[in-house]
């Protein structure tokens, strides 16, 4: 399957409220429309994850990130620009996202992806995409397609074809929490 067709199908599934499995700039992820409460709920159930544990959202650009976070602190832009590996920032004052995706304190974990497949997927979708590890909560994260359990594979509406054949180590992103008051906390 051509990458363009793969992305087109994944976007169609998410626009219809479905959930997908896809390669990201880090590990394989389970994704959906980050503005769709029901789709987000399906991911929590599939992962058997407590819905008080936040999930990451991917976007394709600075401009898109600003549509979903009120007042991005200046230090966030500096961190994202200087980061040598994929970096997720947890930011206060999330807006325009599914309420069950936003943490109790009003924050959201966002990452601007630079990896070609996930960046194009985000660009074509035109909204943030949930990006949570493709595993049952508490089990090891799937670094490659071959590491994904049957339960996860069977629990989604579409599995992307791109990068399935990769067999190399992948790591989750760094996670940094940035508070409005300027406090910086390294989570991972």
In tens, the pLDDT along 122-141 reads 999 999 999 999 999 999 98
pLDDT tens, residue by residue, 12-48:
999 999 999 999 999 999 999 999 999 999 999 999 9
Structure tokens at 110: 């966002």
Question: CA torsion, points 122, 124, 125, 131, in degrees to nearest 10?
Answer: -20
**Is 169's pLDDT higher than 90?**
no
Q: How far apart are CA 179 and CA 90, in angstroms?
A: 8
- Say how far apart CA 151 and CA 163 lie, in whole Å: 20
Query: What is the residue extent of each domain of the chain?
Result: 3-186
Please answer whether residues 139 and 151 qualify as being in contact, where contact means their C-beta atoms are separated by less than 8 angstroms. Answer: no
CATH of 3-186, one of 3.20.20.70, 3.40.50.2020, 3.90.870.10, 3.30.720.200: 3.90.870.10
Averaging pLDDT over each range in 29-43, 69-83, 173-187, which range is the top one? Answer: 29-43
> pTM (2 decimals)?
0.94
């Amino acid at each position: 399957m051509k990458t363009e067709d793969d992305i087109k199908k994944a976007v169609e599934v998410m626009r219809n409220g479905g959930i997908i499995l896809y390669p990201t700039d880090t590990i394989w992820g389970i994704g959906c429309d980050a503005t769709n409460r029901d789709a987000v709920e399906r991911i929590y159930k599939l992962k058997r994850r407590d819905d008080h544990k936040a999930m990451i959202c991917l976007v394709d650009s600075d401009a898109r990130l600003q549509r979903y976070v009120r007042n991005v602190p200046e230090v966030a832009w500096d961190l994202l620009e200087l980061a040598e590996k994929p970096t997720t920032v947890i930011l206060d004052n999330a807006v325009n996202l599914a309420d069950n995706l936003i943490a109790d304190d009003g924050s959201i974990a966002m990452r601007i992806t630079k990896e070609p497949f996930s960046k194009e997927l985000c660009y074509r979708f035109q909204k943030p995409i949930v990006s949570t590890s493709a595993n049952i909560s508490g089990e090891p994260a799937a670094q490659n397609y071959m590491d994904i359990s049957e339960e996860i594979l069977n629990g989604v509406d579409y599995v992307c074809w791109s990068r399935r054949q990769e067999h190399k180590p992948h790591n989750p992103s760094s996670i940094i929490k940035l508070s409005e008051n300027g406090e910086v906390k390294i989570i991972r």
